[in-house]
Chains A and B, each alone.
Chain A
């Protein structure tokens, strides 16, 4: 998109009339403002996590800083277990959701007729149903299946949430892939499954990577399902950190420290994945 920049540079407008470098300065200021706006709440979170428990009420005034909060949080067994559980759930949910929705998106993309139409209308409608309409009964359903407060009890509802949206996005990925390679493979004796698995799937990898990163982040940060569908057996990190300010008194410094620890994996995933996300999301 150098072309847009070049075009705007050539058509000399408002800024270049006033000051030759005014436009660059304006652009730089805008970039800095955007950075500040997006970073400020996170910056504040990090700052709070570094203050001692007595200093959090005047974060902007004090000058003492400490890393004791992190030490204290990590010495609590429930936090460590919650981090591990969250990591496992996010990873498993990503793998399983992508596996389940890749086939469904492929079906929507490659076939026409009543079955794909029905399936698409169904997932479109179920995508719209508000969480409150089914999260509460879901609690009873997972108890009926004896999977309440276990990995499966949180994983399967998560996959159910992702099915509608991901199938739709996957359809977009497969729509962008020319199916003639699959016909060629099928003429050469490949089965339909072979054409799907060996030809279409490798071509969809950029999109799958992008979706995997977003899915992982989403599950890692999810709160409502974790709150309702888990108890003491399977602590989840979002619930544990919210409890620092809800149930166990207002321990802002501990909540912030846990939140900063939970931010680190997400940060790593995003920083290394952003290129793939932008490349893969060209729906």
Chain B
């Protein structure tokens, strides 16, 4: 996939033979160009991401409750509080990681299946593809409101269908695991098209020769998929998994809309925990500390993923 072309420096004619002072001025001109290319992006990034993050980090070391107007520096007290909180350790972290793994695995599976399906030619393919892309067009918050409504225990259509089938209605959003299931389904519904789209683009850019060879050797469909399609698609899949895992870790809006973390904080994920600490318990410092802890966890996790990603992309070259 990402085939790195020869870089500018290598392919430029005769840069090495120049005298050193010349090389120096060239380097400066090149560095200037490089910096100019990233300046606008860096400026926006610093002002609207780095500054807010540092502001939040600063708050996490202080006593930011309402009855302390001086905002005393308390060091790591907020951090130790969060790390000793049984709620955070026993419910929030397992929820977050469980949610992340489940949603990525399921959306990858369904996305790959749909991409393989759409990669064939059949009448009405365009229509199926348009249907599959529907979740991308609906605002996630609206989808979440709608699904909460569909799973409502009195008026929801899901229970009406169950009743029609002779099954006793289930109060979906009052138990931990059914609520978790509804949230998971919503997330999979929202993100499967994204996987399908990128994997389909990846499938269509694969070279045809290995498939021709497999056909000549009369390889079965499964073996063609297992030994040709899957390995060749692996770099795209790894990129998808990395990006989506990071996003799933910080999911906020659909959980907030569907369950609000309930029942009784049983489905809280880490973003929600930080939000609830900051705004419902009105302790911005503790919320910030939770956010920073989450950020550190996900950055470490992402760096590990990045190593894996690098290895796969290297292998595929």
Main SS of the interface on chain B?
Answer: helix
B162 at the interface (CB under 8 A from A): no
- Complex: A194 Cα to B149 Cα, angstroms: 55
Whether the Cβ atoms of B201 and A39 lie closer than 8 Å is no
Question: Is B33 located at the chain interface by the 8 A CB criterion?
Answer: yes
**B243 A165 Cβ-Cβ under 8 A:** yes
Is A221 a contact of B5 with CB atoms below 8 Å?
Answer: no
Q: Contact between A137 and B139 (Cβ–Cβ < 8 Å)?
A: no
A66-74, A77-85, A96-104: which one contacts chain B?
A96-104
Contact of B45 among A126, A192, A238 (CB under 8 A): A126
Nearest Cβ distance between residue B140 and chain A, in whole angstroms? 6
Chain B residues numbered 248-278 whose CB sits less than 8 Å from any CB in chain A? 249-250, 252-253, 270-271, 274-275, 278
- A13 vs B298: C-alpha distance in the bound complex, in angstroms? 45
Taking a contact as CB atoms under 8 Å apart, the answer to whether B131 and A115 are in contact is no
Residues of B within 8 A of A (CB): 1-9, 11-13, 30-31, 33-38, 40-42, 44-45, 47-53, 55-56, 59, 114, 117, 119-122, 124, 127-143, 145-147, 149-150, 155, 157, 160, 189, 192-193, 197-198, 200-206, 208, 211-212, 214-215, 218-221, 224-225, 229, 236, 239, 243, 246, 249-250, 252-253, 270-271, 274-275, 278, 284, 287-288, 291-292, 294-295, 298-299, 301-302, 306
Enumerate 18 A-B pairs (CB-CB under 8 Å) in ascending A order.
A4-B225, A5-B121, A38-B131, A38-B189, A39-B131, A104-B41, A107-B34, A111-B30, A128-B301, A133-B288, A136-B284, A176-B2, A176-B3, A179-B8, A192-B33, A242-B142, A252-B149, A282-B202
Interface residues of A (CB under 8 A from B): 1-8, 10-11, 13, 27, 30-31, 34-35, 37-39, 41-42, 44-45, 48, 57-60, 99-101, 103-104, 106-107, 109-113, 115-116, 119, 122-138, 140-141, 145, 156-157, 159-161, 163-165, 167, 172, 175-180, 182-183, 186-187, 192-193, 196, 217, 220-224, 238, 241-242, 245, 252, 255-256, 259, 262-263, 266-267, 269-271, 274, 277-283
